[in-house]
Amino acid sequence: MEKQVEKKGMPLLGELFPAMKVQTTQGMLNLPEHYKGKWFVLFSHPADFTPVCTTEFVAFQQRYEQFRALNCELIGLSVDQVFAHLKWEEWIKDNMNIQIEFPIIADTGSVAEKLGIIHPGKGTNTVRAVFVVDPTGALRTMLYYPQELGRNMDEILRIVEALQISDANKVAMPANWPNNEMIEDSVIIPPATDTKLVSARLEAAKNGEYKCYDWWLCYKKL
């Protein structure tokens, strides 16, 4: 019987998030099973007690209720021991008056290796990666940032909300949604794929079902 080789490196969009048991500041968790039925955002940071990472954790916590309103949880990660995470949380609480409520994975390096997020040339530091996972455990979005650039949490919120709307309505989202320069907060109808659908699309546009720049670029308000 051929031995199955464990896949390593960056997971691909659409794949199931790799199954793993992780030590966190809130105990042992099994991912992605722990968040089954919910969206979750796993984000890695280079190290505890670093300036940019501290601003990011404060920003994530300040938007935590907005993520929860989207049925989405947060979970952080870095190659630090759990006591370092706890001490850093304590520092943020004492100095910023912000209580970090979401768990942080204390990684030995095995989780970061499985996800392909060890920063090249930076020892064991993890990159600023973001993994957006849907309620089925499928990986839907990945973002990677250099150490010098802090993340925009409002963009991550936008991604979660946009994916949920896209899934529910079978539509695509334009650039800068919901403030697109061409169609504002409208959503895009998937392009027609045959001549029959082209005719139906144009007829529907005439009837006011939605608007079109052309048969391949139609949009509507939700």
Confidence at residue 119, expressed as pLDDT on a 0 to 100 scale: 67
pLDDT bucket at 154, cuts 50 / 70 / 90? very high
Q: pLDDT over 70 for what percent of the chain?
A: 93
Q: Which residue has the higher pLDDT, 130 or 204?
A: 130
Which phi and psi (to 5°) does residue 31 adopt? -105, 145
Q: Look over the chain and give the mean of its residue pLDDT values, rounded to a whole number.
A: 91
Can you tell me the mean pLDDT for 91-113? 94
Confidence at residue 173, expressed as pLDDT on a 0 to 100 scale: 97
Rounded Cα distance, 86 and 23, in Å:
12
pLDDT in tens, 27-48: 999 999 999 999 999 999 999 9
Catalytic, out of 53, 72, 212, 218: 53
Q: At what angle do helices 51-62 and 153-169 cross, to 10 degrees?
A: 40
Look up the pTM and report it.
Answer: 0.91
Q: If 0-12 CB within 10 Å is exposed, 13-18 middle and 19+ buried, where does residue 105 land?
A: buried
Contacts of residue 179, defined as CB under 8 A and 6 or more positions apart, other chains included, come to 185
The answer to whether residues 131 and 17 touch, using CB atoms and an 8 Å cutoff, is yes
pLDDT bucket at 116, cuts 50 / 70 / 90? confident
Q: Where are the domains of the chain?
A: 20-169, 171-222
pLDDT in tens, 47-69: 999 999 999 999 999 999 999 99
Query: Which class is 171-222 in CATH?
Result: alpha beta
Q: Mark whether 53 is an active-site residue.
A: yes
* CB neighbourhood size of 31 (10 A): 20
Q: In terms of CATH, what superfamily is 20-169?
A: Glutaredoxin (3.40.30.10)
Rounded Cα distance, 72 and 40, in Å:
5
